[in-house]
Chains A and B, each alone.
Chain A
């Protein structure tokens, strides 16, 4: 049974007089535990697809089933709840809250979900250890290196133990070495059963994934799993 099931997804943006089909007649299924890279040129609809999968955006047509549940018809508040429990985001520019410490940034999804402080502290402590950030707990983002920042961001994305991890160019702002570290970290999480969807320009990063999706003009141009 697939974790994600998209059928006939359409997303149209109005740019002046013309309509831009960011996503057109998209059908896609991703199983739980898969490692998928989404590639393609700028404007091909990669980011729109990722936002849609993350319930940040709504399709104009079509059905999105997450864990066998139609999530397109949910109210914004219900979607927020699904995002909170089932989906984790990793961004290219990390998106850490500058005034919060590393530990507080990691705890943020739990804070927003209303998890009691004691449980939060316990889980943050474990995450800091898992991601090698024990000595950086009280540092603010501007006191951390790029690699450390992205590790904090990944710890934050996984603290709620989501089923789906969405990464938008996770190595885009990092040098090769730290980028590799971050990729290994994500792959390790995937190895533990988290479904990983990575959007990237980088062919080397894309090639590491077990399944590659190539997009062009809002359509799926190539899917490595069907080609085989």
Chain B
């Protein structure tokens, strides 16, 4: 029997029982769609988190005050148990480290910004001109903080896109005098809208020179020091240099924590990659179930078409022809199911992206290929048994069942 004839015969046979065929196609397509959607969610989460970290800046080394972890007895800790604060001078000292390209101290607090009778509370970040490059901020209007002595603190402010919109609306913001806390400052720049970056909504940020922030909050400590290493390879080096400089400045006590963005990124990448794989595995179970269902449907088809099989044998069909016809039917059920599932899955992923634009719910290629491959191969594997049963049928017995 010619291949085209086998395919047409199998197709007609499948279409002869529309309900049964569509149900098994549905089962297979749900399996494939589950793989596509679930891996899209898993991989989307991975991409989202990785993207969030990457948007913090490149080759970033973050210095936090305080040390978590258990150390041995140290004469220094015996005398002073509280960690020293990070200061602007600490930050300035880090500039001497050869692996450091640039850095930005960061002092954070909450305060109000008021203008023309409108008052808005927001997160105030005290920093320096280099924060722009270190954090990969982009300006929509004006300019960033001036490059000046870190202890000077010019009365200027750079605001987030949302603050500008809510305070100024349609009127130009650049050059306006506003009040931040008890200081009058001039708006020099507006950040481009970028969305949330790890809990820090840049659209609602109020950025002032670090000295001004210290004056506002009446303190002299830093929340973080953001250090940018010279290159990706220089990150571990920068980390060591930062640690040793701060240790020597803090009387030999290692009372800071240094996180490298790379390490965090790699951890999250691995973690969420494993999650995606696990989710794909769960979805694959539904594919196996769908394969068994296809087998069931084909077994029923063989039983129902016993008379027809007897007839085909009487008309000169070889066992091989009958086996191929039933295998083709099983393969067709799973192929169509896989195709429909693929489209359904992509449609659902598209729906998710539409509903949550920030969430990149794209199914990874490996998952799509694995899903389709599993669907087709389970369909074929589970089709073998019914096809063999059909081919081995005794024609005399089969003909009597008509």
Residues of A within 8 A of B (CB): 51, 54, 56-57, 76-77, 80-81, 83-85, 87, 89, 91, 93, 95, 97-100, 108-109, 111-114, 116-117, 156, 160
Contact = CB atoms under 8 A, between A and B. Distances in A.
Interface in B338-388: none
A91 B399 contact: yes
A95 B318 CA distance: 18
A132 to B, nearest CB: 22
Contacts of B317: 80, 84, 112
A56 B402 contact: no
B313 A95 contact: no
B270 interface: no
Interface in B1-16: 1-2, 5, 9, 12-13, 15-16
Contacts of B16: 98-99
A80 B1 CA distance: 12
14 contacts: A51-B396, A56-B395, A57-B396, A77-B318, A80-B316, A81-B316, A81-B318, A83-B315, A87-B316, A95-B307, A97-B311, A111-B1, A114-B2, A114-B5
Contacts of B311: 95, 97
B16 to A, nearest CB: 4
A2 B316 CA distance: 23
A89 B396 CA distance: 13
B308 interface: yes
B315 A89 contact: yes
Contact of A112 (B1, B13, B396, B402): B1
Contacts of B13: 99
The 7 A-B pairs with the shortest beta carbon distances in the complex, nearest first, are A84-B316, A80-B318, A99-B16, A83-B316, A56-B395, A109-B315, A112-B317
B180 to A, nearest CB: 80
Given A95-B402, A111-B5, A113-B1, 7 more contacts: A56-B395, A95-B314, A100-B12, A111-B1, A112-B1, A112-B321, A114-B2
B232 interface: no
B215 to A, nearest CB: 88
Contacts of A117: 5
B307 A56 contact: no
Main secondary structure of the interface of B (DSSP, over half): helix
A108 B319 contact: no
B178 to A, nearest CB: 80
A98 B305 CA distance: 11
B316 A113 contact: yes
A54 B399 CA distance: 13
Nearest to B395: A56
A156 B9 CA distance: 17
B320 interface: yes
A18 B89 CA distance: 108
A51 B397 CA distance: 11
Contacts of B399: 56, 91, 95
A83 B310 CA distance: 13
A81 B311 CA distance: 14
B325 to A, nearest CB: 9
Given A77-B319, A91-B399, A108-B315, A114 B307 contact: no
A54 B315 CA distance: 10
Which of A85, A91, A111 is most buried by chain B, counting CB atoms within 10 A of its CB? A111
A57 B394 CA distance: 8
B167 interface: no
B316 A85 contact: yes
A77 B211 CA distance: 94
B316 A56 contact: no
Contacts of A98: 16
Nearest to B312: A112
Nearest to B13: A99
B314 A83 contact: yes
Contacts of A112: 1, 312, 315-317, 321
A19 to B, nearest CB: 18
Contacts of A116: 2
Nearest to A56: B395
Nearest to A84: B316
B2 to A, nearest CB: 5
A117 to B, nearest CB: 8
B376 to A, nearest CB: 25
Interface string B8-42: 01001101100000000000000000000000000
Contacts of B9: 111
B396 A109 contact: no
A156 B321 CA distance: 19
A97 B402 CA distance: 11
Interface string B290-332: 0000000000000000011001111111111100000000000
B313 A56 contact: yes
A166 to B, nearest CB: 9
B46 to A, nearest CB: 49
A56 B314 contact: yes
Contact of B313 (A80, A91, A99, A156): A80
